[in-house]
């Protein structure tokens, strides 16, 4: 089943090619297949040392049952289309990197509670539904700026997330192991099982109409294409392709080349797709991305996740919002208020200050509103635990306190209190 085409927008963008030309292009372009990405440059893929093992793992993944269902994905698309029409707001929270430490019921329930509490507060302020989306049940792979990293006095291959290698400071532990793709799939299934049980137990209300739907929507960066490709399934009636690893896959800031493998891969699936949009993004390049990923101008298809940094957001974002609107892409603009505000503390920890996070949230709301758009969501790296990874807030975390409970597997997360403060700020801005 093809997602229903959007009703004809009231104002057709003049830059849009005519229906006739679009139909011609569709006829001459070869049909998309899940393996097409292989003909495009794929950034950030591990050097798997055992090609035969990788093939066996891919076959095993292809034989598994879907983790999420087309009906759930369609339900999320419908919710996101409301956000694209200024009738809902996305609340996307979770770990920078999930780990393979056993997911516990308590840990998963706490994440669901945190997400629902933030969504409830924002939804009440807005008098519209807030859509809870976790960075959860699959967020196991990380892009890295450098292939190596210094750990103490050792220069090691970078840790790329539990889906690829082990963080232990040992060169052997850092060798990519394709068996981890299967383990990661198993962990994702376990976490999804917990999310479904939480919904069924009545402890957390699902947002989907589908029977057995999870308590929150799942999302992760679709980074490792050898993992994602075997999890694409085709509608038995010969229709759409669905990425069944997660409801909302996103493309990261390091892999969003419009001609690259990740964009080609997600072009063909019917899921909603997120794209991180950084401060160096040219309006023309963003237009190309939108044309590739949202050729049919469908509300609920594209989620653009702005991650500009507090300093840049107000100058860089408005022309991008205007450009996308002029081209007639009914996207959801979401504010990732953490990734542009990372710095290294005096204690040597990668951290973020809650004041900068707050400044980026304010800047995002005013930039999107100035451009005539709808601030459609928030995206934060957050945990319900009382960790000391980000500074600021009240009761505050000082830089000297960072070593006390610095537990993240990758980027620093806002702790429970800091996340609640950020959600309160979003709610205040929604009331304006």
Q: Does 221 bind Mn ion (CB under 5 A)?
A: no
What Rg value do the Cα atoms of the chain yield, rounded? 21
Site for ligand PEP in 291-310 (CB under 6 A): 307
**Neighbouring residues of 35: CB distance < 8 A, sequence distance ≥ 6:** 229
Give the one entry of ligand PEP, Mn ion, none that residue 253 binds, where binding means its C-beta sits below a cut-off of 5 to 8 angstroms depending on kind. Answer: ligand PEP
d(CA 62, CA 170): 32
Task: From 27, 22, 84, select the one nearest 272 (Cα to Cα).
Answer: 84
Give the one entry of ligand PEP, Mn ion, none that residue 72 binds, where binding means its C-beta sits below a cut-off of 5 to 8 angstroms depending on kind. Answer: none
Give the one entry of Mn ion, ligand PEP, none that residue 143 binds, where binding means its C-beta sits below a cut-off of 5 to 8 angstroms depending on kind. Answer: ligand PEP
Q: Which of 96, 308, 324, 359 binds Mn ion (CB under 5 A)?
A: 96
Site for ligand PEP in 211-240 (CB under 6 A): 221
Element housing 93 (H / E): strand 89-94
Please answer whether residues 96 and 75 qualify as being in contact, where contact means their C-beta atoms are separated by less than 8 angstroms.
no
Site for ligand PEP in 70-89 (CB under 6 A): none
What would the two tokens of residue 289 be?
């991305």
Q: Which of 160, 220, 297, 339 binds ligand PEP (CB under 6 A)?
A: 339
Instruction: Give the count of alpha carbons within 13 A of 59, CB side only.
Output: 6
Spell out a b/e string for 144-177, using b for 16 or more CB atoms within 10 Å of the CB, else e: beeeeeeeeeeebbbbbbbbbbebeeeeeebbbb
Q: Which of 70, 206, 230, 252 binds ligand PEP (CB under 6 A)?
A: 252
Binding mask 176-205 for ligand PEP (x = CB under 6 A): ------------------------------
Q: What is the CB neighbour count within 10 angstroms for residue 77?
A: 20
d(CA 234, CA 77): 18
Q: Does 248 bind ligand PEP (CB under 6 A)?
A: no
Nearest approach in angstroms of CB 277 to ligand PEP is 9
Please tell me the count of residues contacting ligand PEP according to CB under 6 A: 10
Chain centroid to CA 171: 30
66 or 143: whose CB is closer to ligand PEP?
A: 143
- Which sign, positive or negative, has the C-alpha torsion 139, 143, 148, 150? negative
Nearest approach in angstroms of CB 95 to Mn ion is 9
Q: Which of 137, 345, 411, 416 binds Mn ion (CB under 5 A)?
A: 411
Q: Which of 66, 107, 129, 143 binds ligand PEP (CB under 6 A)?
A: 143
Binding segment for Mn ion (CB under 5 A), chosen from 36-44, 47-55, 341-349, 406-414, is: 406-414
Q: Does 96 bind ligand PEP (CB under 6 A)?
A: yes
Task: From 333, 425, 335, select the one nearest 378 (Cα to Cα).
Answer: 335
What would the two tokens of residue 363 be?
């800047």
Binding site for Mn ion (CB under 5 A): 96, 411
Binding site for ligand PEP (CB under 6 A): 96, 143, 221, 252-254, 276, 307, 339, 411
């Amino acid at each position: 089943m093809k997602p229903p085409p959007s009703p004809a927008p009231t104002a057709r963008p003049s830059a849009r090619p005519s229906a006739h030309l679009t139909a011609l292009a569709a006829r001459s372009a070869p049909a998309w297949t899940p393996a097409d990405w292989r003909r495009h440059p794929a950034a950030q893929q591990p050097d798997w040392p055992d090609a035969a093992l990788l093939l066996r793992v891919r076959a095993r993944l292809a034989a598994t049952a879907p983790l999420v269902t087309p009906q759930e994905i369609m339900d999320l698309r419908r919710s996101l289309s409301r956000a694209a029409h200024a009738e809902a707001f996305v609340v996307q929270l979770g770990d920078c990197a999930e780990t393979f430490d056993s997911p516990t019921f308590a840990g998963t329930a706490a994440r669901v509670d945190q997400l629902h509490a933030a969504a409830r507060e924002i939804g009440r302020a807005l008098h519209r539904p807030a859509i809870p989306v976790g960075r959860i049940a699959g967020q196991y792979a990380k892009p890295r700026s450098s292939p190596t990293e210094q750990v103490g006095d050792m220069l090691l291959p970078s840790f790329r997330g539990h889906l690829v290698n082990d963080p232990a400071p040992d060169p052997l532990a850092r060798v990519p192991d394709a068996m981890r793709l299967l383990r990661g799939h198993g962990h994702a299934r376990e976490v999804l099982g917990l999310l479904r049980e939480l919904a069924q137990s009545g402890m957390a209300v699902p947002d989907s109409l589908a029977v057995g739907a999870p308590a929150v929507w799942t999302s992760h960066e679709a980074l490792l294409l050898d993992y994602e490709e075997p999890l694409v399934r085709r509608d038995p009636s010969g229709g759409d392709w669905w990425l069944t690893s997660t409801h909302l896959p996103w493309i990261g800031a390091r892999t969003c080349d419009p001609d690259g493998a990740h964009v080609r891969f997600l072009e063909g699936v019917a899921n909603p797709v997120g794209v991180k949009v950084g401060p160096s993004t040219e309006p023309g390049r963003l237009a190309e991305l939108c044309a590739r990923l949202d050729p049919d101008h469908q509300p609920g298809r594209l989620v653009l996740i702005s991650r500009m940094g507090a300093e840049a957001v107000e100058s860089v974002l408005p022309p991008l919002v205007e450009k996308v609107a002029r081209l007639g892409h009914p996207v959801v603009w979401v504010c990732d208020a953490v990734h542009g505000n990372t710095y290294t503390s005096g204690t040597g920890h990668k951290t973020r200050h809650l004041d900068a996070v707050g400044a980026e949230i304010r800047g995002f709301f005013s930039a999107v509103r100035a451009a005539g758009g709808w601030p459609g969501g928030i995206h934060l790296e957050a945990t319900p635990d009382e960790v000391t990874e980000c500074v600021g807030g009240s009761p505050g975390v000082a830089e000297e306190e960072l070593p006390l409970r610095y537990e993240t597997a990758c980027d620093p997360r806002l702790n429970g209190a800091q996340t609640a403060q950020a959600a309160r700020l979003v709610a205040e801005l929604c009331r304006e």
